[in-house]
Amino acid sequence: MIVFGHNSFLLNECKPSQLGMAPDLDAVYTIERRQRYAHLFWIPVFGIGKIWALRKRSDNNLYVPNAELERALNALPFADKTPWYTFAFLFLIMGGGLIFFISETVSDFQSKRRQEQYLQEKNQSLTKAINAPQPYHYYDMKQSGEHVYLKVVKSDQNNITCLYSKKQDPNYSDYRILEAFVVDSVNRTFDTVKIAKADFLKAINEKDNYSFEGYEIIPGAGKLAIDEFKEFAFPVFKNLQTAYEEGEFFAVIQNIGEGASFKGMKTESSNVTFEGAVLPEKIKAGDLIFIKGTYADAEPKLSSKVKFINNAKDSAEYNFSIYSSYLTLEKSKR
């Protein structure tokens, strides 16, 4: 593969008789004025002079004129200009650079617009969540790099009453904000705080400034900034323990989300027979649920759909599956 080298292309051509030579030479040769150029990957980079050449009609090959003829040809009053495409490679670089610059400028503009739109929508969402809070709303707050969590209890026209937690999830799960309000041997209760909505709105980093520290929405608790807003209007089940042995299956799950009513299960495949109803008719926030049953074959297996209706009378479908010692009961993502 030839990466670089030199070549030439035609600028002008004429018959020998046009330059005062014998007319019988017209049937033998064509005189050409050619531009020599250096090339890279066959793309012209720059010119390296002009030459004369004789093209023999019988074989269509180029020949170098003898010294005497070359002197005569060079004495002719030709002033051929070097064509722009002799520098095609340089123009390609400049054109590519211009296209890249325009592309980057457009991309930066679009990225900035998307960021502005995202920030606007985020601010609107947070403002709405503060002005019209619901019992299933949670706020993830930042304080000097640490997380502080708030869960809505109730609200009126001017204030929001929330549970306050600084409990951290060691596993940093997707439901860490719910985990922060799970009662255990260490955290049996959580403080209740009353926050003025007007103060809460000042905790929104509206311009997404890196140096934003937030606002002291709770007297004496320091400045807090809203990092994220979440809503969990349906149950979220945490698997606490699953075991099976000699045909018997046992599991303990906990609802760390909102309460709901169990409205039935549609089984797709299963070798498990449950003792009584698989789930209680009413499930409250924080409830522990014990699931017991028997199974055939070597290990328990289940694939099913479960329906819940929450306190707002909205319905949701969950995927309920058991495979060996793994149990999941998760809201369908659709």
Residue 109 has pLDDT above 80, yes or no: yes
In tens, the pLDDT along 269-279 reads: 999 999 889 99
Higher pLDDT pick, 309 / 51: 309
Query: What pTM, to 2 d.p., does this model score?
Result: 0.69
DSSP string, 19-79: GTS-GGGGGTEEEEEEEEEEEETTEEEEEEEEEEEEEETTT--EEPPPHHHHHHHHTS---
CA distance 144 to 200: 17
* 3 state DSSP class of 301: strand
* pLDDT tier at 7, thresholds 50, 70, 90: confident
Residue count of the chain: 334
Burial 84-101 (b: 16+ CB within 10 A, else e): eebbbbeeeeeeeeeeee
When mean pLDDT is compared across 85-94, 147-156, 161-170, 302-311, the lowest value belongs to 85-94
Question: Residue 64's pLDDT is what?
Answer: 86
Confidence class for position 91, pLDDT limits 50, 70, 90: confident
What confidence category does residue 133 fall into, taking pLDDT thresholds of 50, 70 and 90? very high
Least confidently predicted of 64-68, 116-120, 286-290, 293-297: 64-68
Tell me what the mean pLDDT of segment 168-195 comes to.
83
Q: Which of 6-10, 82-86, 101-105, 192-196 has the lowest mean pLDDT?
A: 82-86
Place of tokens 């296209």: 99
Q: Would you place residue 185 in the very low, low, confident or very high pLDDT band (cuts 50, 70, 90)?
A: low
pLDDT score at 192: 95
Give the per-residue pLDDT at 44. Answer: 77
pLDDT tens sequence across 137-181: 999 999 988 899 999 999 999 999 999 998 887 677 788 999 999
Q: Is the pLDDT of residue 1 over 60?
A: no
Of all residues in the chain, the percent with pLDDT exceeding 70 is 98
Helix ranges (DSSP H) in the chain? 67-74, 88-131, 176-179, 197-201
Q: H or E element: which one contains 267?
A: strand 260-270
CA–CA gap between residue 260 and residue 253 (Å, rounded): 15
Mean pLDDT of 92-115: 89
Say whether pLDDT at 317 is over 70.
Answer: yes
Model confidence pLDDT, tens digit, residues 214-256? 999 999 989 999 999 999 999 999 999 999 999 999 999 999 9
The average confidence (pLDDT) of the chain is 89
Position 195 confidence tier, pLDDT thresholds 50, 70, 90: very high
* Predicted local confidence at residue 2, as pLDDT: 58
| Structure confidence at residue 52 as a pLDDT band (50, 70, 90) | confident
